[in-house]
Amino acid sequence: MRAHFSGFTFDGEARELRRGDEVRPLSPRALQLLTLLLAARPRPLAQTRLRDALWPDTHVGYSSLAQVVAELRKALGDSPAAGRFLRTVPRYGYAFVAPTDAPAELAAFVGSFVTGEREYLVPAGESLLGRGAGCAVRLVSARVSRVHARLRADDGRLWLEDAGSKNGTWVNGRRPSGPVLLGDADEVVFGSFHTVFHYLGDGSTHTGRPGP
């Protein structure tokens, strides 16, 4: 993602934020936060979703996210009161609000697998799901194989295929034999690890059907 807004240039590939010729230093998490908020704009992202994305294998408190938000605001010359770039949504999360030329469809994530305790964000493109350290969607549970399933986000939709896991993958009580297109609010069980899949949008246009 590359974006221009209010004299700033953000280059996601170079992982760099500039104002004119001046580089504004940002930590890796602050750069990732900016990427997420730009991709989702103008829709706000929940604090829980942002914490899961920035600290995928660690449970952290609200203050950790607040520190990263403060770092990003300082680099942008913004403040909670001004809200020129980042808007705080009380008791929910944050949104990027400044006009920018970045295409909104370049979303960093397509949806998430949700449990009773947390949600696991699914990145755009092709990725692996499992308990192994090399999986982009990491479900740290003995009930899940190291590489349990393959994921493919295409045009805002998510295809799922079991990767030969020991205990299988189930979608709405059925064990698909090949790739399956997930619908919003589909129940997905990896082995015996229960989740519900949700798209990042309202999900009203997403309905699951078997893959080709």
60 and 21 together in one domain = yes
And the tokens for 171? Answer: 């979608």
Which neighbouring-strand residues pair with 56?
A: none
Whether 81 is in a domain gets the answer: yes
Categorize the per-residue pLDDT at 75 as very low, low, confident or very high, splitting at 50, 70 and 90: very high
Whether 122 is in a domain gets the answer: yes
16-19 and 169-171 as β-strands: parallel, antiparallel, unpaired? unpaired
Whether 103 is in a domain gets the answer: no
Q: Which residue has the higher pLDDT, 133 or 31?
A: 31
Count of domains for the chain: 2
88 and 116 together in one domain = no
**Which structural domain range is residue 151 located in?**
109-210
* pLDDT value for 38: 86
Q: What is the CATH number of the domain that holds 20?
A: 1.10.10.10
- For the chain, give the mean pLDDT: 86
73 and 123 together in one domain = no
Q: What is the CATH number of the domain that holds 172?
A: 2.60.200.20
- For the segment 102-112, what is each residue's pLDDT rounded down to a tens digit? 655 445 678 88
Q: What ranges make up the beta strands (E) of the chain?
A: 2-5, 8-11, 16-19, 22-23, 45-46, 86-89, 93-96, 109-114, 119-123, 125-130, 137-138, 149-154, 157-162, 169-171, 180-181, 186-190, 193-199, 209-210
Cβ neighbours, 10 Å, residue 90: 5
15 and 55 together in one domain = yes
123: preceding bond cis by omega (within 30 degrees):
no
Whether 201 is in a domain gets the answer: yes
**What length is written for the chain?**
212
Which range, of 3-7, 54-58, 104-108, 188-192, averages the lowest pLDDT?
104-108
Domain termination site, one of 71, 96, 121: 96
What are the phi and psi torsion angles at 60 (to 5°)?
A: -125, 160
The angle at the Cα of 92, spanning 91 to 98, to the nearest 5 degrees, equals 120
| Integer CA distances (angstroms), 39 to 62, 72, 146, in order | 22, 16, 30
Domain termination site, one of 41, 75, 96: 96
* pLDDT value for 158: 96
Does the pLDDT at position 206 exceed 70?
Answer: no
Q: Residue 138: which of 162, 121, 126 has the closest Cα?
A: 121
- For the segment 111-143, what is each residue's pLDDT rounded down to a tens digit? 889 887 777 888 888 899 999 988 889 898 899
Whether 102 is in a domain gets the answer: no
Q: Which residue has the higher pLDDT, 200 or 35?
A: 35
Whether 40 is in a domain gets the answer: yes
